[in-house]
């Protein structure tokens, strides 16, 4: 058995691509638009996984955008979150925050943070290797909302 991808429905494709690609740093691997079905499938991979994703179609996240407006209920607590390892958690959180993303659980410990996608999917960021030394403004920042 091989893990392939996780599918996430997105209501605003431009906002979602901005979040996942421009701010989070994922790379678009492929896209399929179905005129007849009125949907788009966009497959994204993390930097460093892109060669494997192009070769084996895994591991990736699939953004599914239905062209006709559709209201999606908030993700249920049973779903949990997506997680990505980052080279520098402080730089990643700063880039996301500068892009208008709320840091729900700041990386006070230099190791872990949580943010939320435009469609309410929790994203966990984990520091690669050893935790970074605590640093401001993160060390004293309070949690916002839930994740």
**Contacts of residue 40, Cβ cutoff 8 Å, sequence gap at least 6:** 13, 31, 32, 33, 34, 63, 64, 65, 67
- Residue in the structure block whose two tokens are 């895994």: 58
Catalytically annotated residue among 124, 130, 136, 142: 124
Closest CA to 7 of 65, 76, 78, 48: 65
> Active site includes 124?
yes
- Listed residue (84, 136, 115, 134) closest to 19, CA to CA: 115
3-state secondary structure of 94: helix
**Cα separation of 101 and 93, whole Å?**
9
Catalytic residues: 124
């Amino acid at each position: 058995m091989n893990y392939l991808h996780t599918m996430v429905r997105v209501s605003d494709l431009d906002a979602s691509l901005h979040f996942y690609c421009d701010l989070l740093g994922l790379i678009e691997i492929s896209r399929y638009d179905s005129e007849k079905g009125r949907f788009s499938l966009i497959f994204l991979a993390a930097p460093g996984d892109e060669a494997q994703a192009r070769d084996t179609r895994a591991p990736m996240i699939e953004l599914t955008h239905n062209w006709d407006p559709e209201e999606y209920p908030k993700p249920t607590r049973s779903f949990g979150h997506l997680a990505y390892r980052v080279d520098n958690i402080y730089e990643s959180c700063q880039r996301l925050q500068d892009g208008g993303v709320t840091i729900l659980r700041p990386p006070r410990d230099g190791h872990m943070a949580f943010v939320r996608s435009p469609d309410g999917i929790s994203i966990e960021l984990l520091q690669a290797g050893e935790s970074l030394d605590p640093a401001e403004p993160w060390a004293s920042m309070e949690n916002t909302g839930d994740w």
